[in-house]
Structure 1
Amino acid sequence: MKIRTRIAFWNVRTLSDDSRLAQAEAVMLGYNLQILGLSEVRRHGFGELRTSRGLTLLYSGKENEADVREYGVGLLLSNVAKKSLVDWKPISDRIMYARFNSRVRKISIVQCYAPTNASSEDTKDDFYNALNATLRSIKRQDIVIVMGDLNAKVGRVNAGRERHMGTQGLGVCNENGDRFIDFCQNHDLTIGGTLFIHGDHHKYTWNSQYCRIQNSLQILYKNFFLR
């Protein structure tokens, strides 16, 4: 019998207090998710805790408590997912890694929160250097999922990039988008958010009177799609 595992991700803006954590739990349980990736968790340090509803939160944040109001990533796990957890590692306040058992192969999940397009080149370089190193450390036979808020616009043009992205992006590719696509090509990842047809209003996270920002929450697949 096949068992479906539901995986999702969310930019929560903060899980620094219990009321926000309870809100994330309610969403997770409402959608019957087993693994929920989280960006902007904003908790101090790193650790593992049991929630009031019996779920498990793994989190990786800033070491300096004075900076805790920024960044941070996490994974919220159901009891089934927690039992399948083999190992996890906090990489930084923007990247964490977890490995799970499955019936076919091990599944490696990397949850991340990328710098915005306006961030300095050094900040972007540091993030992608750490992300590249994390991907290189994963066993080649694993199913690999990279997900989170990548803060990038990749656009619709995929000429020469057909293996790594579809044509269902939004807007025009920006600098972060170029970095993001290069990363995907280097690790043979496919940008799942560009493969499926959705209305444009489902492809951006917010809008203003000046612009629409592409939905940069992305899930990337390796050893899973297009193989």
Structure 2
Amino acid sequence: MLALLVSDQHTAVDGLIHIAVEQQKHRKKISSGHGMFELSRPERRTALIARELQHYHIDIVALSETRIADKVSLREEGGGYTFFWKGKPQTEDRIHGVGFAIRTALLKSMPALPVRINERLMKLRIPLSRIRHLTIISAYAPTLTSSDESKEKFYEQFYEVIRSTPPSDKLVVLGDFNASVGERLQQLGRRSGQTRSRQDQ
């Protein structure tokens, strides 16, 4: 059984690890003319995230708003997780960005690595058996204040990813859709918002 988690790397994960940031630090002893003293250097953020994912037995986490440029992969050898990101080019502002953190041991059973579509979409296909697969989409949608053009472009690409997923696959969408439905909680019924199936596309 896979344990999945979605997280905004700059908010939810920060809340998950804020105690570890203070408590877990590399301490290096420095010799000087006045004796020995300790210099504290915070651990790399991915190492902290990996440790917390391990603690909560999470196998795959979808990351959003990573703000990391280009295509990046990083393996935390001691933490047991491998990180995959996709962001804007180096020459552009470091905004948006999506990714996956995957338990490294699972990568051995995956025939392909995550597919980086753009800075808002990534997908991962995992074999469940000889004939069955699971497709996971990591998404980071434009905010409500974004232009209509950027929102339409995102959802066109998002639905194209869904359409391209084999109908026999189990489909899981993880991400931050930056949206709210209804003005008041009391107004929400059993179903809110627009729903679409792959058969309708």
Q: What TM-score does the superposition give when structure 1 sets the normalisation length? A: 0.65
Structure 2 unaligned spans of 5+: 14-41
Partner of 1:26: 51
**Following superposition of structure 1 onto structure 2, how do residues 123-162 of structure 1 map, counting pairs within 5 Å?**
123-155=150-182
Question: In structure 2, which of residues 60, 80, 86 is the aligned counterpart of residue 54 of structure 1?
Answer: 80
Residue 93 (1) aligns with residue 119 (2): yes
AA paired with 2:105?
V
Once residues 164 and 90 of structure 2 are traced to their aligned partners in structure 1, the CA distance between those partners, rounded to angstroms, is 27
Once residues 100 and 140 of structure 2 are traced to their aligned partners in structure 1, the CA distance between those partners, rounded to angstroms, is 12
Deviation at 1:98, TM superposition (A): 0.8
AA paired with 1:85?
M
Partner of 1:42: 67
Partner of 1:215: none
CA RMSD of aligned residues (A): 2.6
Question: In structure 2, which of residues 161, 174, 198 is the aligned counterpart of residue 187 of structure 1?
Answer: 198
Once residues 66 and 185 of structure 1 are traced to their aligned partners in structure 2, the CA distance between those partners, rounded to angstroms, is 33
Once residues 43 and 132 of structure 1 are traced to their aligned partners in structure 2, the CA distance between those partners, rounded to angstroms, is 24
Point out the structure with the larger strand share: 2
Deviation at 1:83, TM superposition (A): 2.1
AA paired with 2:5?
A
Partner of 2:4: 7
Once residues 108 and 85 of structure 2 are traced to their aligned partners in structure 1, the CA distance between those partners, rounded to angstroms, is 17
* Bigger-Rg structure (1/2): 2
The answer as to whether partners of 1:85 and 1:98 remain within 8 angstroms in 2 is no
AA paired with 1:60?
K
Once residues 78 and 41 of structure 1 are traced to their aligned partners in structure 2, the CA distance between those partners, rounded to angstroms, is 18
The answer as to whether partners of 1:34 and 1:80 remain within 8 angstroms in 2 is no
- CA deviations 1:164-202 (Å, max 9, x no partner) are xx46xxxxx7xxxxxxx43x32437xxxxxxxxxxxxxx
Q: 1:18 to 1:71 in 2, by over 3 A?
A: farther
Question: In structure 1, which of residues 63, 66, 72 is the aligned counterpart of residue 97 of structure 2?
Answer: 72
The answer as to whether partners of 2:50 and 2:80 remain within 8 angstroms in 1 is no
- CA deviations 1:39-94 (Å, max 9, x no partner) are 011111113321242311111111234422x1111100012321232332111101
Deviation at 1:102, TM superposition (A): 1.2
Runs of 4+ with >3 A deviation = 155-159
In percent, how many aligned pairs have the same letter?
28
AA paired with 1:50?
R
Once residues 172 and 188 of structure 2 are traced to their aligned partners in structure 1, the CA distance between those partners, rounded to angstroms, is 21
Q: What TM-score does the superposition give when structure 2 sets the normalisation length? A: 0.72
